[in-house]
Each structure stands twice: as C-alpha cells, then as structure tokens.
C-alpha cells in the first residue's frame, strides 16, 4: 500500500536534482552552445602599411608590362613578318604563325594592327596628365587636327587596352580618332577598361550623330547584311568588293553581279591591302566564268560557294576546283600567287 508515496518521492527527488543551479560559467557555456549568435568573437585589427613611393612605381611598371604583353607580341610578329625570319622553315608568314603559335590566318595581323593602336594611345599622352575633354562627337570624325599634348590628355588616358579585341573597332581610324574614341569608351565604362562592344558602340554612335562621310573606299572587301532589306534576300553573308562610293551607299561587285547597297547593309571585313587584292583576283576569275552562257549547274554551285567565303583566300581544294572549271571552259589564266 506504500508504493504510490514511494513513486511520488522518487519523482520529487529527481526534479529537485535537475533544478539545482549550476555555476555561472556553466550557464554561459550552455547559453553559447544553445545560441551561437550570441557568442562574442574577438577580432584583432591588423594595420596594412601603405605602399611606399618605390612600391607604387614598381606596381605601375608591372601593371604596364601586363597591359603591354599582347601588344608586344604584335610588335614581335611585325618584325618576324617584315624581315621574313620564317623563310628558312616556311614559305608564308601565315603557315609559320599557324605551325609555331597555333594562330589562325587572320589573328597575327590583328595583333600587329592592335600593337600600332596601343603605341598610339601611349604616345598621345606621354606624361599621363589627366584633364577633362571638351571635344564633341563631331570633332572625332573631323580633320583630326592635334592640339598640344597637355591639352589632349583626358580622363582615362591611364587606362590602356588589355586585349586585341578591345581595339579592333578602331584600328582603321586615324591616330587622333583612335585616341578620342578610346578615352570616351573608358569614360562610358566608368573609368575601367572598356569591352570591344563598348568601343564599337561609341564608334557607331559617332558615325550616326555626325553623319560621317561614307567610310568605305574603292577596292575594299565588305560583307552583305541582308536584314530588313528584301532586295538583298539570299545575299546575306556574301562578300563583295566596293567599286563605287556614293554619299550613303556603295556599288559592290559580288559573285553574281553588281549591287548598290546602303552603308548600313555593309560590314567591313578589315582585310589587309594584299588580302583585298587577292579577293579582287578571285572575283575576276569568278566573273570570267559567269560570262559563259553554257555554265553548268555544278560549276554555278561552286562559284556561289566561293562568293560566300568567310576568309580572304582559297583552300587547296577550292583552288583545284576553280582551276578545273577554268580549264573545262577554256580559261587558261593561272591564278596569281599572293603568298
């Protein structure tokens, strides 16, 4: 009969043991374990020393070396090409660059062009002075009369390109125009190195605002942009050679005839002069064949393919096919060698 009181006494005793107050330190530990967000973390401040003047000069020097790396490659390639230092192992500069550096045919020339732009941007503000520019968009495409260096160094002159693509949109501009466009692109990029898209947008806007004269020249190779122009349907991507320059349009010779095209439907391919001459020679060969009224469908298909090339040269197979068609139709002229 005494069992219930014993059970209650046992329960009371257990409760009494659990309710004992632990020491304060134990309470703090339990509190911190249950809620880590309340834990106190001690952080020791570390003072970072400022760069000395010598360290600042070293940093700038090393940064310039990084910026110049790709452009130094362009200057080296220019010397290799001009002195023909590849001639002991390769017959052409393009073959040498592909075998030695893995460059595609156009890439070494782009590096060479970019190195010239980089050097120009460096020369335009040798002392690194920074002042605000007051030149308008129209002045960029004006005669390009240079002012004194101290008046020509706008904000952003210390920001230099770091890749070939960033300067590709301005390689065909005059030195003064290159510099003006670059500094404006730097400003639009918030004082940082602008992307190729930003630089290209600056060039395009300036041309639109100033109604710049037709930028194309006779003999230049362009690509057709057929978008929103039903008259150019089926011609998109074809290349053509400018044979007449109007105020807002060009007459271009394509593989199947001449077309008058507004400049907003043309895209410059930025080929070198020698490459333009090579494309002119290919164009002449195509048109001599098209004068033949008996040209078969297969030959017509080959000529159409050549009219859509995305490079300024024929492959070995294309050269053989074109030569075979010329022989078949009695055209004996041997293709010129533009290597």
Domain limits, the chain: 57-210, 213-339
- Concatenating the DSSP letter of every residue in 139-155 gives HHTS------HHHH-BT
Q: Which CATH number fits domain 213-339: 3.40.630.30, 2.30.30.30, 3.40.1440.60, 3.40.1010.10?
A: 2.30.30.30
Residue 40 has a pLDDT of 75
Contact present, 75 and 115 (Cβ < 8 Å): yes
CA distance 172 to 117: 9
- Concatenating the DSSP letter of every residue in 258-308 gives EEEEEGGGEEE----HHHHHHHHHHHHHHHHHHT-TT--HHHHHHHHHHTT
Q: Which of 308, 294, 302 is nearest to 320 (CA)?
A: 302
Q: CA distances (Å), 145 to each of 116, 153, 154, 275, in order? A: 20, 15, 16, 31
Residue 33 has a pLDDT of 53
Residue 126 has a pLDDT of 52
- Concatenating the DSSP letter of every residue in 195-230 gives PHHHHHHHHHHHHHHHTPPP---TT-EEEE--TT-G
Residue with token string 């298909």:
301
In the numeric block, which tokens belong to residue 130? 């920074």
**pTM here?**
0.45
The angle that helices 297-306 and 273-290 make with each other, rounded to 10 degrees, is 160
* DSSP 3-state of 315: coil
Ordered mean pLDDT values, 10 residues apiece, the chain (339 residues):
48 45 48 62 75 83 74 88 89 89 86 89 61 40 43 55 87 85 90 88 75 82 84 87 88 91 88 92 93 90 93 93 92 51
* DSSP 3-state of 109: helix
Cβ-count burial 231-255 (b if 16+ within 10 Å, e if not):
ebeebeebbbbbeebeeebbbbbbb
CA distance 132 to 155: 6
CA angle, 98 as apex, 92 and 103 as ends, to 5°?
125
CA distance 104 to 89: 18
CA distance 74 to 80: 10
Residue 25 has a pLDDT of 47
In the numeric block, which tokens belong to residue 227? 């978008």
């Amino acid at each position: 009969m005494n069992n219930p009181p014993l059970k209650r006494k046992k329960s009371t005793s257990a409760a009494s043991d659990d309710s004992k107050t632990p020491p304060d330190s134990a309470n703090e530990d339990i509190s911190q374990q249950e809620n880590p967000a309340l834990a106190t973390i001690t952080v020791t401040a570390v003072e970072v020393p400022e760069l000395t003047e010598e360290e600042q000069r070293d940093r700038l020097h090393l940064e310039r070396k990084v910026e110049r790396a790709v452009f130094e490659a362009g200057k080296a390639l220019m010397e290799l090409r001009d002195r023909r230092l590849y001639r002991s192992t390769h017959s052409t500069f393009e073959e040498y660059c592909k075998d030695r550096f893995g460059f595609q045919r156009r890439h070494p020339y782009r590096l060479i062009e970019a190195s010239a732009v980089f050097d120009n941007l460096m020369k335009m503000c040798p002392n690194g002075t920074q002042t605000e520019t007051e030149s308008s968009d129209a002045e960029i495409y004006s005669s390009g009369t240079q002012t004194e260096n101290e008046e020509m160094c706008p904000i952003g002159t210390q920001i230099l390109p770091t890749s070939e693509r960033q300067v590709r949109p301005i390689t065909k501009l005059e030195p003064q125009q290159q510099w003006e466009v670059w500094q404006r692109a730097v400003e639009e990029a918030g004082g940082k190195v602008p992307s190729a898209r930003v630089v290209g947008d600056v060039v395009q806007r300036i041309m639109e605002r100033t109604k710049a004269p037709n930028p194309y020249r006779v003999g230049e190779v362009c690509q057709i942009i057929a978008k929103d122009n039903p008259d150019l349907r089926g011609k998109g991507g074809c290349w053509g050679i400018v044979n007449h320059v109007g105020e807002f349009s060009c007459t271009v010779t394509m593989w199947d005839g001449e077309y008058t095209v507004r400049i907003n439907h043309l895209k410059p391919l930025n080929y070198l002069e020698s490459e333009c001459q090579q494309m002119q020679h290919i164009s002449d060969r195509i048109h001599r064949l098209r004068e033949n009224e008996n040209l078969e469908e297969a030959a017509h298909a080959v000529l159409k393919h050549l009219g859509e090339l995305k490079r300024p040269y024929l492959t070995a197979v294309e050269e053989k096919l074109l030569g075979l068609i010329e022989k078949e139709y009695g055209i004996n002229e041997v293709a010129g060698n533009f290597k």
